Amino acid sequence: MPTTGSADRDGHALESVAATERLDLPTRRWALLMDRQSDEGLIARFLLGYRDHTRAAYQADLRDFRAWCARVGIGLLGVHRTHIEAYMRQLEQARRSRATVARRLATLTGFYRYAVQEGALPHSPAAHVRRPSVARDSQTLGLDREEAVRFLAAAQATSARDHALACLLTLNGLRVSEACAADVVDLDVERAHRVLAVVGKGGQRTLVPLAPQTVRAIDAALGGRTDGPLLVSNSGGRLDRHDAARIVARLARRAGLAKHITPHSLRHTMVTLALDAGVSLRDVQDAARHADPRTTRRYDRTRHALDRHATYTLAAFVAEVVPSPTGENHPFPPSASSSRSMTSDPD
């Protein structure tokens, strides 16, 4: 159990905050955070560093791993590398996707790294566990160009609210949580562009420009409202991510799409179609707000096309330079008259 070093400093910091601010947390949660003897307290402090859906995902992953540990009769802080590897194998045998297995391992790696930093463990049992290879191309089913047109047309024919949601997800690639959390006051004008301020991962606030079609859809959905949530549910409250997922699935059926389409499928669609339309990888990365360009490249369906190989462009570039008899390089072949003048004797 942590008794020295960073653990003591962190403990004193928590006690200081608890005595002065308490961060408006319930008494029970504060008691859990201050409990430095239990797995629950360690997990609670680890999760405190994350927000919203990331926190919920990590919490679900740790809950599943703790349940597995309980079944094999071992505590969370008594885990060794072989236990984590056995857990990974069980997930694979349960036919979980490689992406899911890799994410679970990433959660455990982060948690046990934190446990070492807290002084709860001398070293991380997840440090040298082999990560499963994940497909370099995204496996999410998005829409092609014709399907996207049909989907947006179905949304427009259904309701102004559904059309606004479809445009934000398909043409802007917003995460469903971002679209649902947006308020009317987040709309603005920036350098002659209609924009929407969204709060993305890590609490970062970003201005997203809106295409004319999206602006018209949002204006129709608002119907003159100047406050409240941007997207309203049928009951008059804020549209939540579950409502949005049901709307997307219903619109896909009305558009005659056989694919299983989710809000994330539409974010995938934005990235893929933007790349297909010739938008540069850097600009698509910025639009999708991907921190790493490799994430964006996973959506590029044409990056394996042989006719895009650099060798063709390079060969053409080199062929433009033709060596001359004088030893100088010319960017194009010399004309016939210039060749004669270079080889003929002077009068």
Q: CA 318, CA 65: separation in Å to the nearest integer?
A: 57
* Diameter of the chain measured on Cα atoms: 106
Q: CA 169, CA 181: separation in Å to the nearest integer?
A: 13
- Per-residue DSSP letters for 122-180? SS-TTTTPPPPP--SS-------HHHHHHHHHHHHHH-HHHHHHHHHHHTS---HHHHH
Block residue for tokens 């010399």: 334
| CB distance 122 to 116 below 8 Å | yes
Q: Which helix (H) or strand (E) holds 329?
A: strand 329-330
Question: Is beta strand 322-323 parallel, antiparallel or unpaired with respect to 205-209?
Answer: unpaired
Compute CA 125 distance to the chain's CA centroid, rounded to the nearest angstrom: 28
User: Which residues 6+ apart lie within 8 Å of 218 measured at CB?
Assistant: 164, 167, 168, 187, 210, 230
Token pair listed for 44: 């609670």
Which residues are registered as beta bridge partners of 183? 229
Q: Which residues are catalytic?
A: 175, 201, 264, 267, 290, 299
Q: CA 155, CA 166: separation in Å to the nearest integer?
A: 7
Token pair listed for 58: 């990590």
Q: CA 157, CA 61: separation in Å to the nearest integer?
A: 40
| CB distance 299 to 272 below 8 Å | yes
| CB distance 247 to 266 below 8 Å | no
Nearest to 111 by CA among 52, 191, 174, 44: 44
